Structure formats: structure tokens, C-alpha cells
Amino acid sequence: MRIDFPGLEAFVAIAERGSFNRAAVHLNLSQTALSHRMRKLEDDLGVRLLMRTTRQVTLTPAGLELLPKARAAIDGLTVSIDALRRQARAGQQHIAIACLPTIAVTYLPQVLAAFARKHRGVSVQVLDNSASEIADHVQSGRAEFGLTIVSANRWDLDITPLMKEPFVLICPAGHRLAGVEAVQWPDLEGQPLVRISPQTGNRVLIDDALGTRREALDWRYEVQHLATAVSLVRAGIALAIVPRLALGITATDGIVTVPLRNPAVTRTLGIIARHGVPISRTAKTLHDLIVKTLKSSDTDPQG
């Protein structure tokens, strides 16, 4: 089946702006041409995507279902086209990698600085996303490799473990647990805690390590990003269990880190790549620099 990308582009522009007029200006089209694209897309699909009145445009249930998928398709195509244009225009190589934000902030600056000294004509795109998004980027080919939490259940990816990182308790400096040498999980019962959504991969590791004991804890808040969790702790709202590297992505003034015991929880960080698909020679250079940097870090090495 032929994919109507102009129609999808028109649909997304209208849905995001809530107006045919604003969408037409954005796409540099006349409203007549825009309406024609939408009508053709709906005719091809055999379903209405938009409800248009004199005052507003709303999405039908079919439109709501299509919108995130259409966005993803257009974004992926746009990234690929932009990369090709940059290479053609500048005659340079372009590589894309995916990376957890905690690793990107802590390690990538020094790695990319060393890489740039040897490869001045190469542009690098860093997709700093969650673990699930990184796996998708690598599997789809949008990224040549990814730096992420490694998981044995990804049979379709080649995995290279590099280091183990502990989870730690973070609490305000004035909290009663701030001065202890280490915290046992029962010490946290009755304390308001903030946890990260399951999409990050960190939540699953903690839940698996604790088993049914996690039900005894007061998970008062849930957020999407580690930086948000750290901010809630800084404000004195709750305590949080985070990977140690999370302290490098936001200000930590007024926050104390305490080791966790019984059980200690760690995550294994490493590189994932598509199974059976070799990365480019230039990407391999960056890959090797990352391996060298992470293996020589002060976090417990893997193997």
C-alpha cells in the first residue's frame, strides 16, 4: 500500500495547530490545497480523521489513534532526510547514537571532545532518551548503537556490558537518614517516596529486587524523569531511590546520598547494537572511545 506522506503531514499540522489556516501557513500551502490533501487522505483511509466547524477543528477517535503514529513516521523520515542533506551539503559524515541522559551528561562531553579532535568533519546526533526508546532507535536503525541499561531479554540486539552502577537513596540534608552509613530498606517504611515510571527501566530493576517488599513502602509520587525526582527531594517533599549517575544531571545542593543495603540494587550499563549489522568505521571509533571511558570510570566495572 502506498503511504500518503503529504496527507499525513497535512493531518499532523492541522491536529497540532487546531486550525486549517495556521496549518496552511506552516506548510506554505493554500487552504484549498491543504483541504484537498486532507480529503484525499480520508478518502484513501475510508474514515474521517477531523471534525471541522466554523470555530474549531477536533479529532475523531480514528484521528486520535492515528496522530501519534503519523508523528512518529514523519519524525523518522525527517531525521533521515535531514541527515542526508547535511552530508550532501557539507560533504561530511554523520552518525547518530542513542544514550541515557545520565550517561550523556556524565560521560559524553569528554568522549565527544576526544572524538572531535580526530574527526573534525563528522557531525554527531545524540538521541538522549529512555531505555525503551533507545532500544527502538537502535532496532529501527535511527541510531548506530545505544548506551543504555542492558537487558538479557533483547535477543534481537548485540549487548556489550561495560559497568555496574548502584542505586542510592537521596534525601534532604536535614533528614534523619542523611547521616547514617547505609540504609536498609525497612528503614524507608513510612517515608514518602518518589519513583520513576516503568518506561525508564529503573523502576523494573527496583521492583524485581524488592519483590513483595516493595508493597510495604509508601510510593507517594511518580514522575517521568530522574531530574524531577531529584527536584522533589531537594524541596523536601519525598525521598527517592535513583541511579548514582542521576546526581550528575541536576543541581544537588542540599541533597545527601546514602548507600542502600539488603538488598543492594544495581543496574548494568552497556552498549547495544543491531544483531548482525556492523556499525560504520567512524561510529566504531566513537564506540571504542566510549568503551574505554566507561570501563576506566570509578563505577564498578562489569567483568
The model's pLDDT over 7-25, given as tens digits with 9 standing for 90+, comes to 999 999 999 888 898 899 9
Q: Which three cell numbers stand for residue 115?
A: 572524538
How many residues would you count in the chain?
A: 303
Question: What integer pLDDT is reported at residue 118 of this predicted model?
Answer: 87
* Tens digit of each residue's pLDDT (9 = 90 or more) over 47-56: 999 998 767 8
* Tens digit of each residue's pLDDT (9 = 90 or more) over 78-130: 887 877 776 665 555 789 999 998 899 889 999 999 999 988 878 899 999 88
What sign results for the dihedral spanned by CA atoms 100, 102, 105, 108? negative
Band of pLDDT at residue 207, cut at 50, 70 and 90: confident
Band of pLDDT at residue 40, cut at 50, 70 and 90: very high
Distance, in Å, from the CA atom of 247 to the CA atom of 171, rounded to the nearest integer, reads: 12
Q: Residues 142-157: what's their mean pLDDT?
A: 82
- Does this model's pTM top 0.75? no
pLDDT over threshold 90, residue 132? no
Long-range contacts of 224-227 (CB under 8 A, 24+ apart): 224/196, 224/197, 224/199, 224/200, 225/101, 225/196, 226/101, 226/102, 226/196, 226/200, 226/202, 226/250, 227/101
